[in-house]
Structure 1
Amino acid sequence: MHTPPLPLTRDLVLIGGGHTHALLLRKWGMNPLPGARITVINPGPTAPYSGMLPGFVAGHYQRWELDIDLVRLARYAGARVILGTVEGIDPDRRQINVPGRAPVAFDVASVNVGITSDMPALPGFSDHAVPAKPLGRFAAQWEEYLSEPGPASVAVIGGGVAGAELVMAMAHALRANGRDAKVTLIDNATALSATIPKASATIRQAMKQLGIEVLEHASIQQISKGRIDLSNGHQIVAEFITGAAGARPYDWISNSDLALQDGFIQVNAFLQSSDPAIFAAGDCAHLSDNPRPKAGVYAVREAPILYDNLRAALGAGKMRRYAPQKDYLKLISLGQKSAVAERLGTSFRGTLMWKWKNRIDQRFMNRFRELPQMPAPPLPRYHTAGMQEALGEKPMCGGCGAKIGRRALQTALAELPRLEKPDITQLPGDDAALLKTGGVRQVITSDHLRSFTNDPTLMTRIAAVHALGDIWAMGAQPQAATATIILPRMSAELQQRTMAEIMQVASSVMHQAGAEVVGGHSSMGDESTFGFTLTGLCEAEPITLGGAKSGDALILTKPLGSGVLMAAEMAGQAKGDWVVSAFEHMIQPQGEASHILRSAHAMTDVTGFGLAGHLQGMCEASGCGATLSLAQVPVMKGAVELSDQGIRSTIYADNRTITPELPTGGKADLLFDPQTAGGLLAAVASEEAEHLCAQLQAVGYPAALIGHLNTTPVLRVHN
């Protein structure tokens, strides 16, 4: 008996990808709560681990070693990722505001966004300095400054442990790069007051050996380009200025109507805020029962407690109290591969301490680099013949990777009776049909996608652009759309939330394309699918596959690689920034490209059959051949690397049989990669090609001239 998936009934939203939430997602992937739909909202696809920041600044780590890949982690946990910066939370409406999209509804929410070291009250800081947190912007600007030649001058504001670690790392890196550097640490009180005297003396000696000037009880009047003006009239020359003091919460938290302590969210022993449905952890939270300093060790120790308490708030289990330890081990980097360890009133210094710190940090990061693989359920003992072959060696990937093969589709269509209605023309090789109504030329098409991302809003946008491709490829103006949506089983409230998100973005995409959503159909099934039926109007004769001419140049408006990237992402093998970049290509509308290419002799959108398959269709319809320049074919970030690892979309093998004469291996394999919401492939007059390509690039399309057509009815590829 077939057991349908359990319905979704509650929304859990994690705001921020901090250490606590990262550990929670890992644990959730190993033991998810049935019925819970989990969402994580974060500004970018990665979350940096601040414990390794001084080592990165000093040059001991590469930038990628600091990043927790949230996209990959969310896929492991079965969560959707929303990339954006939260601007507010409404406890009464149970909504979170993220710019550029509908409010995100929640039943239970958790906040783990860390803190910022931005100092807006310090005149000139925002314009001429770089806060050490959030880490992304700081890391990029530090790498750029470190690579510059000549003398250097840097200043760090804030003489706590974080500021001392940072300034020593900077001084070491500049010295290692052979730059003569003036390095200054500035504090408005006594530096290193939070450390015991022995550790403080050790750190001060290390700073002295690195040539760092320490200014204490120094009041800053303002910051200007290249200098810091002190209240006593002195000036500090500094080209690179950063701040590791004044840690403060993000502004939106103060407008949340939650109980706060100095701007931080007050939480009880269960990590609950003044609203029982909203939790908080890490540096953005204030532990009302047991106040503690801002330190990553508490965020890490809170993770298992938060995991259990969120499940309890969603209806499963009992809550647990968090009891923070009174003291913790401090391991403070000294610039070089040396560190001081402090705990229980004593301290030790040496390279062994740095190795200890490095081992702790690497062990923490390895928990996200090496996610435990949960075994797939075994096949039933008894099953029909051919079951293993039909399943294949891997799960079916989404998007166009779930498309029926070209051979099966063509065989089925060939058996249909010929059209005999004079007002309908089925154009050879094209997915859309031409209708003639009262002298008006209208095209109609339909397309849908199996979901390959857990975010229905993003999936709707991709599916809309994908379906519009047939209209744009014919040079038509989109007119009207109906939506066909299948959602997995979920409660009535989640249905309403999800459909509201879907229809808002569907209406927005279609309206921007010049069409309107006029209706549709929705139902529930085992998994999500998103589809649209569209009509478009043609002012002139539609552009088809059959009008290409020998000598025409070929223009492609988007890079290849979405199939292999989505296959890798679903298997947890793609880097998060590669996936995000692929999504950005997929959601780029092709309306303006279609208008620029309105003089094309033939045009198609590159989708499920890959570039080679769609180009073959154009050549067959036009009675010509083509030669591609492989070096000129644009590809998405990470696509070649993944293809070289042998990762393939489900339909790759079928696509490969369409043009078996073409080369394989390396970049050539991407010619057969199925595309979702792919670019337009246009055959244009050779004398217009460079001008058209330049026009496309000028308005933001990564367009390229990739080959030309000829009289020999075969496809060729050269490097």
Structure 2
Amino acid sequence: MHNPPLPLTRDLVLIGGGHTHALLLRKWGMNPLPGARVTVINPGPTAPYSGMLPGFVAGHYSRSDLDIDLVRLARFAGARVILGAVEGIDTAQRRVHVPGRPPVAFDVASVNVGITSDMPALPGFADHAVPAKPLGPFAARWSAYLDNTGPASVAVIGGGVAGVELAMAMAHALKTKGRPAQVTLIDNASALTATGPKAAATIRKAMADLGIDVLEGVSIKEITADHVALDDGRQIPAEFVTGAAGARPYSWIQHTGLDLYEGFIRVNGHLQSSDPAIFAAGDCAHLTENPRPKAGVYAVREAPVLFNNLRAALGAGTMQRYVPQKDYLKLISLGDQSALAERLGTSFSGALMWRWKDHIDQSFMNKFCDLPAMATPPLPRARAAGMAETLGDKPMCGGCGAKLGRGALRGALSALPGPLRQDVTALPGDDAALLTTGTARQVMTTDHLRSVTDDPVLMTRIAAVHALGDIWAMGAAPQAATATLILPRMSSDLQERTLSEIMHTASDVMRDAGAEIVGGHSSMGDEMTIGFTVTGLCDKDPITLAGGRPGDVLILTKTIGSGVVMAAEMSGRAEGATVAQAYEMMTQPQGAASRILGEAHAMTDVTGFGLAAHLNGLCKASDCGAVLDLEAVPVMPGAIDLSDAGIQSTLFADNRSIAPELPIDGKAALLFDPQTAGGLLAAVAPEIADKLLEDLRAAGYPAARIGHLTDTPGLNLQS
């Protein structure tokens, strides 16, 4: 008997991708709670590990060494990722607010967003300085400054451990770069108050050896573009200023209505806030029963307790108490590959301590690089012939939205009779039908996609842009749309939440395109599928595949490579940043591009059959051939490397059979990569091609001239 998937009944929302949540997602992947839908919300696809920041600033680590890949981690955990910065929590309605999307509902939530070292009250800081936290913007600004030449001047505000580590790391990096540098550490009281006298003396000597000026007991009046002005009249040269003092919570937390301590979320021994459905961990939380300083070691050790207690809050198990250790090992970088270790007043320093710190940091990061491989359930011993071959070596979808191959579609459709109605015009090869009602010409199409992401909002945007592609490719103006939805089994509350997210998003996308959602149909199944039937109006003859002419220039409006990127994401082999860039391209509407290309002789959208097959269809309908400039074809970042690593979509072989004369090595393999919500491919008169490209790029499209049509049948690559 077939056992259907278990229904989803509760929403767990993780706000922030801090160390605690990262470890929690790893544990969740190895032991998920059936019925719980997990969502992680973070500003970007990665979360930096702050413990390695001084090593990065000093030049010992690359930028990527610091990043925990949340997209890959969430795939492992079976969680959906929402890329955006939270701007508030409505505790009464149980909603999390993220700009640019409907609110995210939760039954249980956890906050692990860290802190910021921004100093908005300090004159000039916002314009001329960068806080050390959050790490991402700081790292980008520091890399750009370090790459400059000539003398350097740097000021670090804050004499705590974080500040002195940064000052020493910057001084070392500038020295290694051969740039004469003035590095100044500024504190309005005394530096290094959190360390013992022996450790402080060692650190002060290390700063002196690096030529760092330490100013204590001074107040800053203003920060300018090239100096820090002190209240006593002194001006400290500083082209690069960072703040590592005054760590404070994000401002949106104060508007949540939760009980706070100096702006931080007060939590009890179970890591629960004043609202028992909302937990908090890491630096953004204040441990009311056992207050502790802000340190990553506590965030790490909170993870197993938070994991247990979130499951308990969702209905499985009982709460545990978190009892923090009274003291912890401090490992402080000293600029070069040397570090100081201190605990309970005893300290040691040198290269051995650095190797120890590096081992601890690398071991932590390896937890997220070396995710355990989850075994695939074996096939039944007794099974019908052909099952293994049909399943193949890739998960269903494999980067193509679970589309059927072109061969199967052609075989099924070829036997259908032509239209008998005079108001239905056959357009062989085009995906949209042309209907005539009185004097009005209307095109109609339908398309649906199996989810390539578990975020209903993102998936709706992708599916809507994908379905609208056929309307835009014919030069029509979108008019109306109906939605067809299949949702996985879930409780009525989750159904309502998910449908609300989908329909609000669908309405936004369609309305932005000029169309209206006029209805739809929904049902339940094993997994989420989103589709749309769309109509469009033509104020002139539609642009079809059949109008291309020899000599026409071929223009492509978007990059290709989404199939291989999505296939890699499904197998946990794509970097989160690569996936995020692919999503951004897939959700870019093509309405403006369609209007710019309104005088095209022939046009199609590049979707599941890949660039080569769609171009082949245009050529056959236009009785032409084509020469492709492979070098000019725009490609998504990371797609070639993933393809070269052997990653392919399940449709690759079928697409390849349509143009077997073309090579499949290197970049050429992406010509057969199925695209989701791909770009428009237009054949245009050569005399207007340059102006069209200029207009497309001005409108934000990565458009390129990728070849031309010829009077010789077949596809060829430019030599």
Question: Which TM-score tier does this pair reach, normalised by the shorter chain?
Answer: over 0.9
Q: Which residue matches 1:261?
A: 261
Structure 1 segment 118-517 matched on structure 2, within 5 A: 118-397=118-397, 400-517=400-517
Distance 2:341 2:28 in 1: 33
> 1:267 deviation in Å?
0.2
Q: Report the 3-state secondary structure (helix = DSSP H, G, I; strand = E; otherwise coil) of the residue aligned with 1:325.
A: coil
Q: Is the 8 A contact 1:57 1:170 kept in 2?
A: yes
Distance in 1, Cα, partners of 2:641 & 2:670: 11
**How far is the alpha carbon of 1:397 from its aligned partner?**
2.4
Specify the code of the residue in structure 2 equivalent to 1:275.
Answer: D
SS of the residue corresponding to residue 520 of structure 1 reads strand
Per the normalisation by structure 2, the TM-score is: 0.99
Contact 1:480 1:518 in 2 (8 A): yes
1:632 matches 2:632: yes
- Provide Cα deviations, 1:492-549, integer angstroms capped at 9, x if missing partner: 0000000000000100100011110000100000111000001111100010001101
Task: Give the Cα–Cα distance (whole angstroms) in 1 for the partners of residues 701 and 435 of structure 2.
Answer: 31
Partner of 2:655: 655
Cα offset, 1:422, TM superposition:
0.8
Partner in structure 2 of residue 102 of structure 1? 102
Amino acid at match of 2:604: T
1:400 partner SS: coil
What is the distance in 2 between the residues matched to 1:222 and 1:690? 50
What TM-score, normalized to structure 1? 0.99
Answer whether contact 1:444 1:535 (CA < 8 A) is retained: yes
Cα deviation, 1:237-277, whole Å, max 9, x if unaligned, reads 11111110000000000111000001000000000000000
- Distance in structure 2 (CA, Å) of the matches to 1:559 and 1:434: 29
Aligned equivalent of 1:600: 600
Cα deviation digits, residues 457-486 of structure 1 (max 9, x gap)? 100010000000000000111111000000
Deviation, 1:398, is 5.3
Provide Cα deviations, 1:656-703, integer angstroms capped at 9, x if missing partner. Answer: 000101111100000000000000000001111111111101110100
Aligned mates of 1:477, 1:460 — CA distance in 2: 20
Per-residue CA distance 1:438-460 (angstroms, 9 max, x = gap): 12111111000001101011000
Q: Note if contact 1:399-1:451 (Cα within 8 Å) is conserved in structure 2.
A: no
Distance (Å, rounded) in 1 between the aligned partners of 2:559 and 2:394: 25
Question: Take 1:133 and 1:201, find their aligned partners in 2: how far apart are those partners?
Answer: 27
Task: Give 2:34's aligned residue.
Answer: 34
Q: Which aligned segments of 4 or more residues in structure 1 are displaced greater than 6 angstroms?
A: none
1:53-72 C-alpha deviation (Å, 9 max, x unpaired): 00000000000000001111
Q: Unpaired runs of 5+ in structure 1?
A: none
- Give the Cα–Cα distance (whole angstroms) in 1 for the partners of residues 157 and 692 of structure 2: 52
Partners of 1:691 and 1:644 lie apart in 2 by 35
Report the CA distance between 1:718 and its aligned residue: 2.7
1:27 Cα deviation after fit: 0.6
* Counterpart position of 1:706: 706
Given that 2:399 and 2:567 are in contact with CA atoms closer than 8 Å, whether structure 1 keeps it comes out as no
Provide the rounded CA distance (Å) in 2 between the counterparts of 1:418 and 1:685: 32
Of 122-131 and 326-335, more deviation after overlay is shown by 122-131
Equivalents in 2 of 1:712, 1:126: separation in Å? 61
Cα distance, 1:420 vs structure 2: 1.3
Kindly provide the amino acid, as one letter, of the partner of residue 615 in structure 2.
L
State how far apart, in whole Å, the 1-side matches of 2:166 and 2:278 are.
34
Match of 1:684 in 2: 684
Partner Cα separation in structure 2 for residue 391 and residue 224 of structure 1:
63
Letter of the 1:58 counterpart: A
SS of 2:517's equivalent in the other structure is strand
DSSP 3-state at the match of 2:607 = coil
Query: d(CA) in 1 for partners of 2:184 and 2:521?
Result: 65
Please say if residues 399 and 564 of structure 2, whose CA atoms lie closer than 8 Å, have aligned partners that are also in contact: no
1:418 deviates by 2.0
* Cα deviations by residue, 1:553-609 (Å, 9 ceiling, x for unpaired): 100000100000000000000000110100111111101101111111100000000
Give me the whole-angstrom Cα distance separating, in 2, the residues matched to 1:118 and 1:441.
Answer: 58
SS of residue paired to 1:681: strand
Report the secondary structure of 1:100's partner residue: coil
Q: Residue 141 of structure 2 aligns to which amino acid in structure 1?
A: Q
CA shift, 1:399, in A, is: 5.5
- Structure 2: gaps (5+ residues): none
Question: Structure 2 vs 1, CA of residues 566 and 401 (structure 1 numbering), >3 Å: closer, same or farther?
Answer: same
Instruction: Write the distance in 1 (CA, Å) between the matches of 2:633 and 2:141.
Output: 32
CA contact (8 A) 1:398 1:451 kept: no
Matched AA of 1:609 = F
- Give the counterpart letter for 1:231 in structure 2: D
Q: Are the counterparts in 1 of residues 399 and 649 from structure 2 also a CA contact under 8 Å?
A: no
User: Counterpart amino acid of 1:167?
Assistant: A
Measured in 1, the distance between the counterparts of 2:220 and 2:417 equals: 83
1:401 Cα shift? 4.6
Equivalent residue of 1:337, what SS?
Answer: coil
- The one-letter code sitting in structure 2 at the alignment partner of 1:417 is P
1:396-444 deviations in whole A, cap 9, x for unaligned? 1256351111111101101112211111012010011111111211111
